[in-house]
Chain A
Amino acid sequence: MALVALSVVLGVACSGTSDHHADVAPVWSESEIGLIQSLSLDALPPPPPSPGNAVADQPAARQLGERLFFDPRFSSNGEISCASCHQSALHFTDGKVLGQGVGTSARHTMSAVGAAYSPWQFWDGRRDSLWAQALAPLEDPVEHGGNRMFYVRLFSELPEYREPYATLFGPLPDFSDPAQFPEHASPLGKAEWQAAWQEMTPASRDRVNRVFANMGKAIAAYERTLLPQRTRFDDFARSLGQAGSQEGVILNPAEQRGLRLFISGGRCIECHNGPLFTNNEFHNTGVLPPEGERPDLGRSLGLGQVLADPFNCLGDYSDAAPQQCQELRFVRKGMTLIAAFRAPSLRNAAYTAPYMHKGQIADLAAVLDHYNRAEQAAIGHNEAEPLGLDAAQLRDLEAFLRTL
């Protein structure tokens, strides 16, 4: 075993040195190979169970959810769907600084790819499942801009949704009586929607909430299928340690040197670890607010919101038993959450500019410059420390990020 690894290692060194001396690929130790392979898609298990969502893995729910994801009728102007901001051609992001729905989102659009693996959703983790997350943009006044009463009625009137819904969740309630179910109503949004919601009986509100939650569960079932594609990096990781391997061909020396910086000198792997290159945890990395804006408090506000969310794992609309809601039970509070944001996946990073929670960093070179300087945070404490990398190292690191 050691011999195989050794000859592979020497193979890289030889092919590196034989051509030009300056362009040398690293010699990988066994422990480095272990780390590299821990980042490969070969090490990615299926998405973790979603105890709050009984239909999470049902094909019929997936199909229903996919249709909803792309359906712009579920918006206040009939033009915005999830796919307006999460575009499949752009790895389920939008290429914009801030999301553009019926208005402008408060933050930069995250990719929905691999989101099923995260215990927390959004930059600040203000939702604890994909299905609860999906309900938020629908009622966000600047994203889909509508309200749950309007959505569930529309949904119940469309045969393409009615029928699959009935098989998955049971027959839809009849929302046609205006005395019980006004045209627009929600506990959120416009004052008149909130007033109408207050006038509904608890039983009517519960019926609306239940269908609304189930729409989210179907969308989540679809999103669970959004997984990253294999890249050259995954082929490289698989080839390491295999006899007669081609790893020197799969990643060039600069990319391999960048990889070594990623897993050691650059300390990136501390937070961007696992096959999705994220630990899905909250960190303050000192990303400054855009010019003239107040700093975003991030997780320190998101935590209160997820605990109060009626659609969280412990809520009435969750299919989970309370003891299955481990994330909420053991959630950490405290000062380190100030201006902390969830580490995003770095899969497809080359194609998902701009970056960070407000889209405030335009390109990968600027991201690396940010980490290299690791300046003081506007609020809270920057966990990252200056790296002291030189220009050539930063170029190598960027070359590596582009292989993901």
Chain B
Amino acid sequence: MLKRSMSWLTLAVLFAVPMLVAVRLWAEPLPATTAVAAFTSAQGYFRVTYTSEPIVINRMHSWQLQLEDAEGRPVTGAVIAVDGGMPAHNHGLPTRPQVIEAAGAGDYRIDGLRFHMPGNWEVRLQITAGALSDEVVITLSL
């Protein structure tokens, strides 16, 4: 009995260091609890920051968006269409989220988001403001 717990302890110490390193590495993709993250559009016209409560699988929720132009000025009056899915699974979003402009300058809200499985997701925002149109791809790992 004593011998067994001794050997556990030795093993535990031996493995502790690589184990801790490994945990760090696995944590590298954005964790599911990401609250804020910023993404730049494909051609660099826009920068989008999204804020969300911790994302829970299968729960309908909203994101707050902050939209800026390349110089960091808030962009108002933009039309934003949402699409997305899981590229590895070749399927889209389970819902059809919609974006509305919110009160502050450059503030928008996406309603109706839901992610129905763990894995890597993409939310694609097609943004049109004035003469400019560009796509932002937000990636997240749940």
Is A231's CB within 8 Å of the partner chain B?
A: no
Rounded to whole Å, the gap between the CB of A356 and the closest CB of chain B is 20
Number of interface residues of B (CB under 8 A): 29
Chain B residues with CB under 8 A of A11:
8
Asked if B15 contacts A336 (CB within 8 A), the reply is no
Closest to B61 in A: A326
CB pair B95–A330 under 8 Å, yes or no, is yes
B119 at the A interface (CB under 8 A): yes
Stretch binding the partner chain, chosen from B19-27, B42-50, B101-109, B123-131: B19-27
Q: Which of B20, B26, B96 contacts A331 (CB 8 A)?
A: B96
Contact of A332 among B26, B57, B96 (CB under 8 A): B96
A90 at the interface (CB under 8 A from B): no
Residues on B with C-beta less than 8 A from A3 are 12, 16
With a cutoff of 8 Å between Cβ atoms, the chain A residues found around residue B73 in the complex are none
Q: How far is the CA of A79 from the CA of B89 in the complex (A)?
A: 47
Interface status of A383 (Cβ within 8 A of chain B) = yes
The answer to whether B58 and A330 have CB atoms under 8 Å apart is: no
Contact (A331, B95) CB under 8 Å given A30-B23, A281-B116: yes
Sample of 17 further A-B pairs with CB below 8 A, known A38-B57, A332-B92: A6-B15, A6-B19, A11-B8, A14-B4, A273-B116, A273-B117, A273-B118, A279-B94, A326-B60, A330-B95, A330-B98, A330-B111, A330-B114, A332-B94, A336-B91, A383-B89, A383-B91
A383 surroundings in chain B (CB, below 8 A): 89, 91
Complex formed: what's the CA distance from A269 to B89 in Å?
13
A274 to B19, CA, bound (A): 27
Interface range on chain A: under 10, 10 to 19, 20 to 34, or 35 or more? 20 to 34
B116 smallest CB distance to A (angstroms): 4
Residue interface mask A266-290, B partner, CB < 8 A = 1: 0001110110000111100000000
Cβ-defined contact, A280 with B58, below 8 A: yes
Q: Is B79 an interface residue (CB 8 A)?
A: no
Nearest CB on A from B61, distance (A): 10
By a beta-carbon cutoff of 8 Å, the part of chain A in contact with chain B is 2-3, 6-7, 10-11, 14, 29-31, 35, 38, 119, 269-271, 273-274, 279-282, 326-327, 329-334, 336, 383
Mask for B28-56, Cβ within 8 A of A = 1, else 0?
00000000000000000000000000000
Q: With CB as the reference atom, state the residue of chain A lying closest to B60.
A: A326
A381 CB, min distance to chain B CBs, angstroms: 9
Do the beta carbons of B23 and A273 come within 8 Å of each other? no
**Shortest distance between the CB of B124 and any CB in chain A (Å):** 15
Q: B residues 61-119 with Cβ under 8 Å of A? A: 89, 91-98, 111-112, 114, 116-119
Q: Is B2 an interface residue (CB 8 A)?
A: no
Q: How close is A339's CB to chain B, nearest CB, in angstroms?
A: 14
Cα-based distance from A270 to B90 in the complex (angstroms): 13
- Kindly identify which residue among B23, B57, B92, B93 contacts A2, using a CB–CB cutoff of 8 Å: B23
For residue A381, which residue of chain B has the nearest CB?
Answer: B90
Q: Any chain A CB within 8 A of the CB of B132?
A: no
CB <8 Å contact, A270 and B118: yes
Question: Which residues from A are CB-within-8-Å of B1?
Answer: none
3 A-B pairs closest in CB distance: A330-B112, A279-B116, A330-B95
Q: Are B11 and A330 in contact (CB under 8 A)?
A: no
